[in-house]
Amino acid sequence: MTAGQLASRWSPASWRAWLLARREAAQALGALPVRDGVSLRAGVPARLAGFDQTLVAVAVALVALGVVMVYSASVALPDNPRFSRYAPMHFLNRHLFSVGLAFVMGLAVLQVPIAFWEKHASRIFIAALVLLLVVLVPGVGRVVNNSRRWIPLGIMNFQPSELAKLAIAMYAASYMVRKMDVKEDFFRAVWPMALATAFVGALLLRQPDMGAFIVIATIAMGILFLGGVNARMFFLIAAVIVATFGLIIAFDELRRGRILAYLDPWNPAYAQGKAYQLTHSLIAFGRGAIFGQGLGASVEKLHYLPEAHTDFLLAVIGEELGFVGVAGVIAAFFWLTRRIVAIGRQAIALDRVFAGLMVQGIGIWMGFQSFINMGVNLGVLPTKGLTLPLMSYGGSAILMNFIALAIVLRVDVENRALMRGGRA
């Protein structure tokens, strides 16, 4: 939107308020003029001052720690007859391959303008729905632990629910932009999005993958709320979703058993069954105390704690690096989530509503999923099959995490370009 268009659309007071907000946002980012190829902020080269270097550093630190801990948690797995055909470094090599592929894909996505994602948001969402249907086809979707969630691609097993998380953030942001003038009307603004989310949920529950459904529903609801949907309608939707989850749990014996095991994990009826992972996760944290047993010294990873390199990686971190290590991971994810949401807020202040809502949706995804994973590991939440973003073993999860962060960085780059007086 040009300055002339803004001036004709807004009153002088609104125009001055917009300019002030833009100037304050630029000052908050430290985006100062560039002279002779050097940013006036601390002499940083202009080509490096166009993105949030701290955000990249925090993400790289989490990925690097994840690589180390995945190796530590998986190095003893070949001693288990189930994994006897694998070499000790098998999972490390696979994880490094996934990180390398994700890095290359992230660099490619970083070159794509945000306008492309806005134009094709609906198509990407439809593609995600198609993959969620394909994975349910017998002979196509791969079954692991009684769940059909993966499509074998040779180089990796792709999990469509990971793509669905990014797709719902794009689609919900695009939807809110299109419905901005009717956002107070429940049936015209909210009901179609609720149906789309419910359809995704039905496909995910067929896998079954209730954890992914909870994350996706939270992303969609968060974007609707941030997009300005009437608060009463928002809380009505939230109540309906909570009631739906309650009914699912009440009529599903497996999930009901998990809830009971979560409430009383040390009960002999659950300790060696549905609460087995939780009890051993708590033992790992207890052994770690303040400073941990030392890197590589975990006992629980030696075939006591299932899925130690995926869903329960934080428990291994707690045992080997102690409270200090766990607190550092929690602080890093809190900062990362807060920064992503701030970038989205800056985009909205620059009248880039789609970009802002999409990035805030990605922030909700990263923050909420890491919260659930940490809560499960610490016994605060019932057991769910969700990985720790950027850290846990899992090719498609790492790939989609990198792509999502690349989109966040692209929005940040375009924000900074606009605040320097250029074009996105």
130, two tokens? 């198609």
Q: What's the pLDDT at 250?
A: 73
CA distances (Å), origin 73, targets 62, 88, 331, 392? 16, 11, 22, 10
Q: What's the pLDDT at 424?
A: 60
Q: What is the mean pLDDT of the chain?
A: 85
The Cα–Cα gap between 413 and 419 comes to: 10
Residue 253 reports pLDDT greater than 90? no
Q: pLDDT by residue (tens digit) across 26-58?
A: 444 444 344 333 333 333 334 444 789 999 999
pLDDT above 70: percentage of residues in the chain: 85
Please state, as a whole number, how many other Cβ atoms lie within 10 Å of the Cβ of residue 306. 13
Cβ 309 vs Cβ 77: under 8 Å = yes
Question: What is the arithmetic mean of pLDDT over 299-304?
Answer: 92
Q: What's the pLDDT at 235?
A: 76
| Nearest Cα to Cα of residue 149 among 217, 198, 208 | 208
pLDDT above 90: percentage of residues in the chain: 57
The pairing of beta strand 142-144 with beta strand 38-39? unpaired
Question: What is the arithmetic mean of pLDDT over 74-102?
Answer: 91
Cβ 208 vs Cβ 135: under 8 Å = no
Q: pLDDT by residue (tens digit) across 347-369?
A: 999 999 999 999 999 999 999 99
Q: In what order do the strands lie in the sheet with 157-158?
A: 142-144, 147-152, 157-158
Q: What's the pLDDT at 17?
A: 55
The pairing of beta strand 142-144 with beta strand 147-152? antiparallel
Q: pLDDT by residue (tens digit) across 237-249?
A: 777 777 877 777 7
- Consecutive H or E run containing 143: strand 142-144
Q: pLDDT by residue (tens digit) across 118-177?
A: 999 999 999 999 999 999 998 898 888 778 999 998 888 899 999 999 999 999 999 999
* pTM for the predicted model, two decimal places: 0.86
Q: What's the pLDDT at 240?
A: 75
Q: What's the pLDDT at 40?
A: 31
Residue 19 reports pLDDT greater than 50? no
DSSP-assigned letter for residue 187: I
- CB burial class (10 A; 0-12, 13-18, 19+) of residue 374? middle
Q: pLDDT by residue (tens digit) across 90-129?
A: 999 999 999 999 999 999 999 999 999 999 999 999 999 9
- CB burial class (10 A; 0-12, 13-18, 19+) of residue 40? middle
Question: What is the arithmetic mean of pLDDT over 395-411?
Answer: 96
Is the C-alpha dihedral spanning 361, 363, 366, 369 positive or negative?
negative
| 3-class secondary-structure state, position 35 | strand
Q: Residue holding tokens 């806005």?
A: 118
Q: Residue holding tokens 């999972």?
A: 91
Q: Residue holding tokens 């179609």?
A: 192
Which residues lie closer than 8 Å to 361 by C-beta, 6 or more apart? Answer: 168, 169, 170, 172, 173, 219, 222, 223, 344
Residue 185 reports pLDDT greater than 50? yes
Residue 7 reports pLDDT greater than 50? no
| Nearest Cα to Cα of residue 170 among 237, 116, 106 | 116
The Cα–Cα gap between 175 and 87 comes to: 48
| 3-class secondary-structure state, position 80 | coil
| Nearest Cα to Cα of residue 29 among 331, 353, 359, 413 | 413
Residue 396 reports pLDDT greater than 90? yes
